[in-house]
């Protein structure tokens, strides 16, 4: 190894020299983000190197296990910093060889920076990708123009439209990586840079390459296929991405880059991209909220018991088995236990049939499951989880008596005072609330309620359990109802009001589905079961009361009976509208003196968003949750809202808080199930703020 001399540490970019090679190390933890100061330091280093005759070549790398990542779309503009596109053009234009040494993550703007280099050296396990599509954007620094000229249009479309990262080894096969370095990419990059400098060959600039332009029919077929898929997407980004890649292979670089810049600016201002970026930031914020992790060691956690074998309990059993726990399934009766366990086994059999797991592997998983009737054997487990939202206090007494000292009891209560019941048990320091969502194999969020007397060991143990299940943990204050439950009930209340006023069942669900709520309101009730949902009792005769009780009284319980708000003639197929329900609705309107009117899909969405945001504002004011973004996490990760909605509170911001306030005021006069707007709205509107302002 040659002589090394540290020249300067310019803020977040270190400069070292080795045998005439300038090594620029981006040191901006945790992600080596290409913020304005980093870009300015890199540009200054290149300008200095160009004028320094002792520098023959340049290597760019990242500190630790990250190469670089692009700055967020919402980064404040720094008048003194170059934009990333200008920096990449400056790097590529260098007359001295530039080599990128890649270890760890090289994503987004980081990949664009690497593409601007003349040679790329990477560790086989480096992660290379362009995730912009996942937040509704295209690259903004020439990525859509350089990548196709390096790896071809077909591979570029696949990489850019998927948003997924590939390993360095795969990158070499595509031609994205020139040299694999199993040991130290920087060492090999320095060697390669010296070799390039000695050869005095002209730098190989990605934007000028023509060797990957001969794909012909294969590229045209790929474009047609991706364009067909993009036409079905609610987002604009896929179609704009395809346009940019086409331009890279058909137009001069400068024109293609201009097209890319225009696409980026348009998309960055779109509601869908703003919503997607908000959800991405909210997820990072939630994952960073490690109030207990690492501060207190959890108790040993090998075996758990789940109370119940149906519904959410069965889903939880499957998750726990997949996570490697020994699981005891406890039910009140032999009949309920037998039916529930049979459905759990059917789930694993379906995986075998789909080729996702072998029969031997299933046998090993099921060997860790023990099914019992009653609670007599719970004294052997480390934690008991009862996910039912309607657990009786008598059952909690039984569980408490059966459990050993130090075992954690996690309850999903939603209609009782959890803190009061825990206080009456013999283990108040080991009781807490865990509320899992319906469809928890898809919806990852869990509402975590530590009670006043819950001890730190119990909290740490329960959080360790949730993390092992790969859950997103949201800390909420104990309350009579779950956060997700209150939001979905607000959705149903607004949907019922729209139905009374003249909208159709299928119209309301379609409007909500197009916005991003998978099952809408009425199909969701049919799916869950109308008897289980059972809405607000005694409200039907009142304005906004809905039809739930009428349907249940008629034996229309939802999908399970083949009839609910819809008729289900074939298992697994969507339901169809039923004239009988329309007749019931007409009778209900007549009894309430309502003259139906035409209601647009837009009004349906505005009313439903406003009702949910109104309940969210109440929970903020009451301290049930800490940030509006937490409610958006519940919407996306507990209720299954599409990420493009931005969640409930961000959607209210986009709608306009004054509009939401007026809608709440109007709806509250028509429905006792919808409260007048919280003072939170008045305070935000008066100060010119939004819910997003409260997320800092």
E strands, 394-496, are 408-411, 431-435, 445-450, 472-475
Using CA atoms, how far residue 399 sits from 9, 408, 446, 469, 521, in Å, is 61, 11, 22, 23, 36
Q: Please name every residue paired with 511 in a beta bridge, in sequence order, or none if there are none.
A: none
Is 112 catalytic? The answer is: yes
CA-based torsion, 101, 105, 109, 112: positive or negative: positive
53, 92, 132, 346: the catalytic one is 132
Q: In whole angstroms, what is the distance from residue 179 CA to residue 173 CA?
A: 10
Q: Contact 130/108 with Cβ under 8 angstroms?
A: yes
- Helices 628-637 and 601-622 cross at an angle (nearest 10°) of 130
CA dist 692 → 279, 375, 629, 657, 684 (Å): 11, 47, 7, 11, 10
Strands 566-567 and 472-475 come out as unpaired
CA–CA separation, 572 and 88 (whole Å) = 52
Are 633 and 474 contacting, i.e. CB atoms less than 8 angstroms apart? Answer: yes
b (16+ CB within 10 A) / e for 468-484: ebebbbbbbebbebbbb
CA distances from 546 to 482, 599, 604 (A): 22, 17, 15
> Structure tokens of 603?
């009004």
Active-site residue 420, yes or no?
A: no
Catalytic, out of 75, 92, 112, 187: 112
Phi/psi-derived region of residue 572, left when phi > 0, alpha when psi is between -120 and 50, beta in every other case: left
- Which residues are 385's β-sheet partners? 306, 410
For helices 143-151 and 253-268, the axis angle rounded to 10 degrees is 130
Burial of 672 (0-12, 13-18, 19+ CB in 10 A): middle
Backbone dihedral angles phi then psi of residue 212, each to the nearest 5 degrees: -115, 25
Do 658 and 282 form a contact (C-beta atoms < 8 A)? no
Q: Which residue has the tokens 């001890």?
A: 455
| Residues known to be catalytic | 112, 132
């Amino acid at each position: 190894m040659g002589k090394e001399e540290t020249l300067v540490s310019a803020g977040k970019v270190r400069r070292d020299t080795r045998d005439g090679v300038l090594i620029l190390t981006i040191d901006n933890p945790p992600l080596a983000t290409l913020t304005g100061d980093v870009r300015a330091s890199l540009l200054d280093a290149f300008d200095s190197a160009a004028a320094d005759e002792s520098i023959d070549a340049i290597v760019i790398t990242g500190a630790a296990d990250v190469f670089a990542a692009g700055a967020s779309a919402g980064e404040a503009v720094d008048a003194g910093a170059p934009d990333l596109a200008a920096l990449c053009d400056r790097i590529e234009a260098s007359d001295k060889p530039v080599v990128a040494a890649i270890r760890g993550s090289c994503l987004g703007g980081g990949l664009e920076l690497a593409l601007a280099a003349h040679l790329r050296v990477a560790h086989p396990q480096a992660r290379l990708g362009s995730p912009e599509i996942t937040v509704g954007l295209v690259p903004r620094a020439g990525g859509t123009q350089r990548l196709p000229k390096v790896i071809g249009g077909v591979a570029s479309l696949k990489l850019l439209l998927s948003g997924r990262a590939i390993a360095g080894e795969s990158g070499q096969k595509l031609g994205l990586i020139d040299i694999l370095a199993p040991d130290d990419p920087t060492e090999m990059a320095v060697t390669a840079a010296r070799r390039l400098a000695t050869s005095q060959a002209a730098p190989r600039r990605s934007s000028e390459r023509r060797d990957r332009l001969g794909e012909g029919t294969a590229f045209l077929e790929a474009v047609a296929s991706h364009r067909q898929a993009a036409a079905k997407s609610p987002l604009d980004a896929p179609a704009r991405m395809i346009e940019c890649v086409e331009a890279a292979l058909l137009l001069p670089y400068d024109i293609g880059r201009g097209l890319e810049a225009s696409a980026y600016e348009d998309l960055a201002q779109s509601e869908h991209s703003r919503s997607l970026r908000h959800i991405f930031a909210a997820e990072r914020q939630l994952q960073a909220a490690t109030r207990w992790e690492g501060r207190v060691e959890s108790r040993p956690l090998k075996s758990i018991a789940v109370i119940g074998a149906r519904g959410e309990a069965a889903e939880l059993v499957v998750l726990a088995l997949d996570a490697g726990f020994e699981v005891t399934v406890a039910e009140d009766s032999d009949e309920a236990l037998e039916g529930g366990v049979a459905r759990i086994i059917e789930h694993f059999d379906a995986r075998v049939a789909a080729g996702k797991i072998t029969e031997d592997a299933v046998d090993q998983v099921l060997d860790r499951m023990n099914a019992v009737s009653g609670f007599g054997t719970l004294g052997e487990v480390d934690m008991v989880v009862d996910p039912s939202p309607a657990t009786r206090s008598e059952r909690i007494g039984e569980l408490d008596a059966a459990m050993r000292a130090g075992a954690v009891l996690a309850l999903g209560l939603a209609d009782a005072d959890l803190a009061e019941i825990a206080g009456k048990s013999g283990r108040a320091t080991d009781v807490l609330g865990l509320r899992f969502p319906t469809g928890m194999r898809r919806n990852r969020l869990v509402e975590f309620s530590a009670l006043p007397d819950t001890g730190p060991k119990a909290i740490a143990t329960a959080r360790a359990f949730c993390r092992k299940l790969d859950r997103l943990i949201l800390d909420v204050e104990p309350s009579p109802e779950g956060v997700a439950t209150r939001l979905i009930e607000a959705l149903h209340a607004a949907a019922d009001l729209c139905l009374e006023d003249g909208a159709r069942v299928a119209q309301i669900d379609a409007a909500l589905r197009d916005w991003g709520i998978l099952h809408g309101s009425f199909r969701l009730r049919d799916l869950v079961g109308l008897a289980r949902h059972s809405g607000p009792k005694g409200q039907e005769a009142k304005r906004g009361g809905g039809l739930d009780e009428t349907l249940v009284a008629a034996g229309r319980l939802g999908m399970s009976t083949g009839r609910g708000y819809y008729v289900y003639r074939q298992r697994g197929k969507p339901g169809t509208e039923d004239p009988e329900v329309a007749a019931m609705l007409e009778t209900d309107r007549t009894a309430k003196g309502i003259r139906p009117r035409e209601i647009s899909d837009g009004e349906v969405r505005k009313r439903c968003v406003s009702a949910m945001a109104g309940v969210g504002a109440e929970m903020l004011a009451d301290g049930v949750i800490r940030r509006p973004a937490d409610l958006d996490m519940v919407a996306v990760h507990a209720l299954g809202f599409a990420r493009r909605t931005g969640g409930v509170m961000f959607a209210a911001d986009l709608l306009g808080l004054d509009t939401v306030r007026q809608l709440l005021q109007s709806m509250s006069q028509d429905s006792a199930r919808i409260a007048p707007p919280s003072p939170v709205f008045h305070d935000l509107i008066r100060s010119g703020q939004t819910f997003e302002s409260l997320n800092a």
